[in-house]
């Protein structure tokens, strides 16, 4: 549905039955994904933003738009409330790493509840824009590819609607780096409602596994991330699935 003006996209979503929407998205996915074959994460997400695969920027001073999942208040507000409550549960505001921070429309709302805040993305121009737009927010914006580099340890890591766009090989490369860099992983993934086969592979790119009736579950094979505990923080219905946020306390790290 991307590629249509926003007003038409909204109208189409409200009028068309979900089955038809799924086949339109499936067709679009076939067409789009061949263009992503063999691209690095950096090249893939530069292309996603340049081609406005997740929609066009809403403000003239922005060249990047991270999608409705980062901007729709019905999706963002419950997440910010739940993640904010989690952060307020710490005795001191925890240091936070935000991996795949995107246009930072979500991260800026959680910034007040955090100690040190480091926000990373693989897209260089996006990080340059964030440094400029959010220069008052005391955030350390960095270019980082989580599949290729291990960030410095922070108490809490947010990875919101990032892994869902990656191939299984890229997720497998990212997870040990994630596990080495935080005590609490706050992970948000768009998954089908109800039971589903986890981690059906896809190519790295703009689309997600929902079209295949699958979603990322890091504790399931082939990833089987060891965790000490997990807790559902929030879930928001979207496109016949759920945008689900889980807090994982990672194995090997002492409890606070
Ligand atoms: C759908 S956006 C989500 C942005 C933000 N987390 C949010 O929820 O608003 C996914 C972001 O992940 C970034 N990303 C994808 N692969 C990455 C990687 N390997 N390392 C770091 N960032 C990555 C993309 O560039 C994009 O900005």
Task: Say which CATH number the domain at 68 has.
Answer: 3.40.50.150
131 DSSP 8-state letter: H
* Ligand 1 center–CA 199 separation, angstroms: 18
More confident of the two residues 128 and 6: 128
Q: pLDDT digits over 125-142, tens only?
A: 999 999 999 999 999 999
Cβ 12 vs Cβ 4: under 8 Å: yes
Q: pLDDT digits over 161-210, tens only?
A: 999 999 999 999 999 999 999 999 999 999 999 999 999 999 999 999 99
Whether the predicted pLDDT of 49 surpasses 60:
yes
Position 48 in a domain: yes
Dist. CA 163–CA 175, nearest whole Å: 10
Between β-strands 241-250 and 182-192, what pairing exists: parallel, antiparallel or unpaired? antiparallel
Ligand 1 atom nearest residue 147's Cα: 19
Give me the number of domains the chain comprises: 1
Backbone angles phi, psi at 238, to 5 degrees: -160, 130
Dist. CA 221–CA 198, nearest whole Å: 8
* Ligand 1 center–CA 53 separation, angstroms: 13
Task: Give the distance, in angstroms, between the CA of residue 101 and the centroid of all CA atoms in the same chain.
Answer: 8
Cβ 103 vs Cβ 62: under 8 Å: yes
**Segment 1-14 mean pLDDT:** 51
Q: Tokens representing 249?
A: 């306390």
Instruction: Decide whether any atom of ligand 1 lies within 6 Å of the 210 Cβ.
Output: no
pLDDT at 15: 63
Dist. CA 91–CA 107, nearest whole Å: 21
Q: Tokens representing 174?
A: 């990212």
Helix axes 41-50, 124-133, angle to 10 degrees: 60
Position 1 in a domain: no
pLDDT at 211: 87
Position 255 in a domain: no
Domain region containing 219: 6-250
The pTM of the full predicted model, rounded to 2 decimals, is 0.89
Closest residue by Cα to atom 8, ligand 1, is: 160
């Amino acid at each position: 549905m991307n590629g249509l003006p926003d007003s038409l996209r909204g109208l189409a979503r409200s009028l068309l039955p979900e089955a038809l929407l799924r086949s339109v998205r499936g067709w679009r996915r076939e067409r789009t994904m061949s263009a992503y074959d063999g691209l690095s994460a950096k090249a893939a997400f530069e292309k996603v933003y340049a081609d406005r695969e997740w929609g066009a920027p809403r403000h003239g001073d922005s060249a990047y738009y991270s999608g409705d999942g980062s901007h729709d208040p019905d999706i963002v507000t419950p997440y910010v409330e739940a993640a904010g409550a989690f952060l307020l549960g710490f005795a001191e505001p925890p240091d936070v790493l935000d991996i795949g921070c995107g246009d930072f429309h979500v991260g800026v709302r959680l910034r007040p509840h955090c100690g040190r805040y480091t926000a990373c993305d693989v897209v260089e121009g996006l990080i340059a824009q964030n440094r400029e737009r959010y220069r008052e927010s005391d955030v350390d914006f960095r270019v980082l590819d989580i599949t290729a580099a291990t960030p410095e340890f922070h108490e809490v890591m947010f990875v919101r609607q990032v892994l869902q766009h990656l191939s299984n090989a890229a997720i497998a490369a990212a997870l040990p780096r994630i596990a080495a860099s935080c005590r609490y992983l706050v992970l948000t993934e768009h998954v089908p409602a109800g039971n589903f086969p986890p981690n059906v592979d896809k190519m790295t790119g703009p689309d997600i596994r929902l079209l295949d009736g699958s979603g990322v579950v890091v504790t399931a094979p082939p990833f089987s991330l060891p965790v000490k505990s997990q807790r559902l923080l929030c879930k928001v219905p979207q496109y016949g699935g759920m945008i689900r946020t889980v807090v994982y306390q990672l194995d090997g790290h002492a409890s606070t």
